[in-house]
Amino acid sequence: MLRVGNSPTLRSEMAAAENLCRLEQIEGREVRCPEEKCAFWEPGGAALEGRCAFDAVDVSREPGLAAWLLEFRDALAPGAEAQHRF
DSSP letters spanning 2-18: ---TT-HHHHHHHHHHH
Of 3-7, 57-61, 69-73, which gets the smallest average pLDDT? Answer: 3-7
Region 48-67: mean pLDDT is: 93
Residue 3 within any structural domain of the chain = no
Query: Taking residues 46-56, what's their average pLDDT?
Result: 92
> Domain tally for the chain?
1
Residue 86 belongs to some domain of the structure: no
DSSP for 21-48, please give it: -HHHHHTT---B--GGGSTTEE---SSS
Q: What is the mean pLDDT of residues 6-20?
A: 58
Q: Which domain holds residue 54?
A: 8-76
Average pLDDT in the chain:
81
Residue 23 lies in a domain: yes
In a domain, 64, yes or no: yes
How far is Cα 34 from Cα 2, in angstroms, rounded to an integer? 32
pTM value is 0.69
- 33: amino acid identity, one letter: C
Lowest mean pLDDT among 6-15, 33-42, 70-79: 6-15
